[in-house]
Structure 1
Amino acid sequence: MKLLLIVALLICLPAYGQLVPAQDNVPEDTPIKVEGTTGDKAITARLLAITSAISGMEQITASTEAGVLTLRGEVANAQLKDEALAIARRLDGVVYVQDMLQEQLAVRSRLAPAAEKFEQMLTKAVQMLPLLVLALLAVLCFSWLGGWLARHSTWLRRFGLTELASNLGVRFIRVLVTGIGVLIALELLDATALVSAALGVAGVIGIALGFAFRNIVENYLAGVLLSTRNPFAIGDQIQVGEFTGSVVRLTSRDTVLMTYDGNHLRIPNSDIITLAMTNFSRNPLRRFQFDVGVSVTLDLVQVRQLGIATLTNMPGILADPPPRCLINELGDSAVALKFFGWIDQRNTDFLKARSEAIRLVKSAFDDAGIEMPEPIYRIHMADMNNAEPPAPTEATTSSQQAARQDVDVTTDDTMQQQLQTELRTSDEENLLTKHSNSKS
């Protein structure tokens, strides 16, 4: 019966006695031609010839009976096992492939492929050793060149850049020059594909780091902008938001102030840019003010003249602009007066001058018998039916005429003079000036 089955298979199957020419990109399911007859012995011999030529399949044995191909032996790993089975299924005349292969579990057999790959890599590295040396020299040379440019960064100052901006430019130039050396090294090693991959990864990492360190980058750029604009100098008294102090230093991340309590206050540079900032030292002239309440029964003209005379005779108070006194508010039991005085901060302390001005005005009012009352509430019981307006007396009329003669409502050009002085002496860019000139 077996003999008849074999004869039938030989009759049905076509003869394979011709050689199959080699083709590129042969599909994996393309049948493998068996030379000579397609008998069981020919199938076995063909398979063993193939496996013996592949590393890791030398220990495979095979037997074929009625087109059923049985594989036995050991292979190095599961991948070689799958490849051996795929080769067996592609042989002509094979009806079924029976898998009886086993994977090698010995450490030596598992290390053999890795050792072979390492040996190949070592051989390739030895062959590329001259290129590796040239690539390393390129990186070292360009890195040294970047460091040399960083050490001789005084040429950046010739462009009018500040120290912080110069440091930023030096770092950028150093990274740029070193990056050129790395690109040349990768080009020598024929690793340009790695450059594209590295740039892509660097872009993703840059976006992630940008979100993670957004505040640090924002403060650094704000520091560069502040160092370029120079809105304050060391020792200037400034106010940022609710914080006031003297400028100690400007760093790449924050601005350090010395508060009036002697503490170091660090304000992020981004806050200096975004928040409103007052520089009390940019203009040497500074005005102080304080309020005084006097009785409603007093002659306000005499009270005001006494206060102005007191401030005029006080040391440190400037005669130009002169001290001023304004009636700020008329209350129920007192009249609020507001006194103003100018000082030169280069010679006079602001807080001391204001303190002494308040003390001297209070002493002058006490000596003149000018009352500064506390809130008083009076209740008048009057007959509204028989009430008549009091007739003006001669003293009241003369007092009103004297008050009218002492009225001064002329324009105060003190601030206008300070503004014109600032415009003449400051060299800071003024966009409003350019805009107005363009209109004219």
Structure 2
Amino acid sequence: MRFIALLILVLHLALPVFAQDNAASIATVNSAQQDADIAVRLREILDELGNYDDVTVTVNEGVVTLRGTATSSIEAAALEPLAYRLEGVVAVRNSVVETADISARLDPAIARFKARLDQLIAFLPLALIAVALFALIVFVGFILARMRQPWDRLAPNAFIAELYRQLIRIVFVIIGIVIALDVLNATALLSTILGAAGIIGLALGFAVRDTVENYIASVMLSIRQPFSPNDAVEINGDTGKVIKLTSRATVLLSFDGNHIRIPNATVFKSRIINYSRNPERRFDFQIGVASDADLSTVRDLAERTVTSQPFTLEIPAPAVWIDRIGDGAIFLTVTGWIDQRDTDLQRARGETLRLVKEAIEAAGVEVPDTTYRVQMLGATTAQVTESDRAPHPSPPTKPTAQPADVTATGDEQLENMIDAERQQDTGGDLLSEDAPKE
């Protein structure tokens, strides 16, 4: 306890010493010459600064007294720290106030305006040279961008060629800005401009993200060319013929005659089924025969019938197989191939189904009707008669000697509609028949 009390006493005695060392010291001797020197020096500084013509300075025993007016309160407040910087100043009494004279307050502003006008006049010839160089460089860039070659030869289509031209214009504009700023000796401003442009570009990128995504997808689709005009395609569940590919969407004409616009970002990310890329296309259907029929004979008969049709192809060859056993019938799957450039798929399928059915029935094999008929008797009772349960045999038919016309007239009509719309379109189509296909 004695040790702690002694320590507290020592600290108590030492605190005044530390306070004296940290406080600013004041000399015990002052002279009139020192006061005069402080006053002269401070007046010289105020004369050099200007705007302090109405300020008087007096110094006595190191205390500086400032009286008068200044053109602004900021200039008046700046006098006190300025006076303290002089050696020998003990205290400062700042009695300088803002002047109420309008002309005195306007004179500095007019002087600054004249100085800036003189600077502008001196700077104007250099600025004109910089602007002329910028305009010349941009003009050369736009002339190069307007040339058809080599951009049309380098680009796979007109859309990419125009993209090359836009890049050339942007590059020459940036070069012109850099050279103009270098002439003006203001290249440090370029980093500020680029930083602001980066922030603005980032904000715009988030704002128009979907538009940018569609634009990039348009560029990729125009390069890849996954389909051509008049191609029958399925995109994201929509089926139709391709009209055109724009910078924003892919336009289809459905088989019902409706226009379908699909955003290119969706097209690029979706599964695309192109039914027109290969001219050969397969059709298929199922047909049921009685369970007591000779399935091998029926299968061969159906295959020969499909093969004998003038619109079916030999290679790939038709195929028939036993698919499943159903209610009241055994079902066969029949397939055949056509050249869809000359033959309508749906008409060929329907005509083949009719001919195979007639051939099977002509051979004495029953093609049963597997539909069940429910007859309601009374309010709550339902009975099924045996005659209704049993399959109804089809009446005998006479086979047709020649198949009906299955020419692809429907597709030709759709193609004519698409061609008419494409001819009305003055531009913006990114599809090209001569471009390489994916």
**Is the pair's TM-score, using the shorter chain for normalization, greater than 0.5?**
yes
Q: Which of 211, 221, 225 matches 2:220?
A: 225
The residue type equivalent to 1:96 in the other structure is: A
2:135 corresponds to 1:153: no
The residue type equivalent to 2:342 in the other structure is: N
Q: Which of 223, 246, 252 matches 1:251?
A: 246
Q: CA deviation at 1:195?
A: 1.5
Q: How many angstroms apart in 1 are the aligned matches of 2:257 and 2:225?
A: 24
8 Å contact kept, 1:292–1:338? yes
Note the alpha carbon deviations across 1:4-36, whole angstroms, 9 max, x for none.
Answer: xxxxx9981379xxxxxxxxxxxxxxxxxxxxx
Q: How many angstroms apart in 1 are the aligned matches of 2:252 and 2:150?
A: 31
8 Å contact kept, 2:69–2:96? yes
Q: How many angstroms apart in 1 are the aligned matches of 2:52 and 2:58?
A: 15
2:301 corresponds to 1:301: no
Q: 1:261 to 1:56 in 2, by over 3 A?
A: farther
Q: How many angstroms apart in 1 are the aligned matches of 2:102 and 2:292?
A: 112
Q: Which of 34, 38, 46 matches 2:34?
A: 38
The residue type equivalent to 1:371 in the other structure is: V
Q: CA deviation at 1:160?
A: 5.2
Q: Secondary structure at the match of 2:194?
A: helix
8 Å contact kept, 2:229–2:244? yes
Residue matched to 2:29: 12
2:194 corresponds to 1:175: no
Residue matched to 2:334: 339
Per mean C-alpha deviation after superposition, the further-off stretch among 257-266 and 236-245 is 257-266
2:258 corresponds to 1:266: no
8 Å contact kept, 1:294–1:373? no
Q: CA deviation at 1:152?
A: 0.8
Q: Secondary structure at the match of 1:47?
A: helix
Q: Which of 366, 371, 392 matches 1:370?
A: 366
Q: How many angstroms apart in 1 are the aligned matches of 2:293 and 2:100?
A: 113
Q: How many angstroms apart in 2 are the aligned matches of 1:209 and 1:343?
A: 52
Structure 2: state its 5+ residue gaps: 1-25, 374-434
Note the alpha carbon deviations across 1:18-67, whole angstroms, 9 max, x for none.
Answer: xxxxxxxxxxxxxxxxxxx123x654454344323323323323444443
State the TM-score, normalizing by the size of structure 1.
Answer: 0.69
2:321 corresponds to 1:326: yes
Q: CA deviation at 1:98?
A: 1.8
Indicate the RMSD between aligned Cα atoms, in angstroms.
3.3
Q: CA deviation at 1:190?
A: 0.2
Residue matched to 1:87: 82
Correspondences of 1:388-407 after superposition (within 5 Å): none
The residue type equivalent to 1:38 in the other structure is: Q
8 Å contact kept, 1:10–1:38? no
Q: How many angstroms apart in 2 are the aligned matches of 1:129 and 1:47?
A: 40
8 Å contact kept, 1:333–1:375? no
Q: 1:60 to 1:129 in 2, by over 3 A?
A: same
Note the alpha carbon deviations across 1:71-127, whole angstroms, 9 max, x for none.
Answer: 233323343223211222223443211232323567666655444433322211211
Q: CA deviation at 1:182?
A: 1.2
Residue matched to 1:25: none
8 Å contact kept, 2:225–2:437? no
Q: 1:217 to 1:152 in 2, by over 3 A?
A: same
Q: How many angstroms apart in 2 are the aligned matches of 1:266 and 1:107?
A: 70
The residue type equivalent to 1:135 in the other structure is: A
Q: Secondary structure at the match of 1:336?
A: strand
Q: Which of 184, 196, 201 matches 2:191?
A: 196
Q: 1:213 to 1:108 in 2, by over 3 A?
A: farther
Residue matched to 1:354: 349
The residue type equivalent to 1:137 in the other structure is: A
Q: Secondary structure at the match of 1:370?
A: coil
Q: Which of 289, 311, 323 matches 1:316?
A: 311
Q: How many angstroms apart in 1 are the aligned matches of 2:181 and 2:141?
A: 18
2:44 corresponds to 1:57: no
Q: How many angstroms apart in 1 are the aligned matches of 2:70 and 2:263?
A: 66
Q: Secondary structure at the match of 2:257?
A: coil
Q: 1:107 to 1:158 in 2, by over 3 A?
A: farther
Q: 1:79 to 1:280 in 2, by over 3 A?
A: same
Q: How many angstroms apart in 2 are the aligned matches of 1:275 and 1:118?
A: 65
Correspondences of 1:227-242 after superposition (within 5 Å): 227-242=222-237
Note the alpha carbon deviations across 1:348-403, whole angstroms, 9 max, x for none.
Answer: 222332343344445555666623332679xxxxxxxxxxxxxxxxxxxxxxxxxx
Give the % identical residues. 38
Q: 1:61 to 1:282 in 2, by over 3 A?
A: same
Q: How many angstroms apart in 2 are the aligned matches of 1:355 and 1:121?
A: 90
Q: How many angstroms apart in 1 are the aligned matches of 2:303 and 2:101?
A: 107
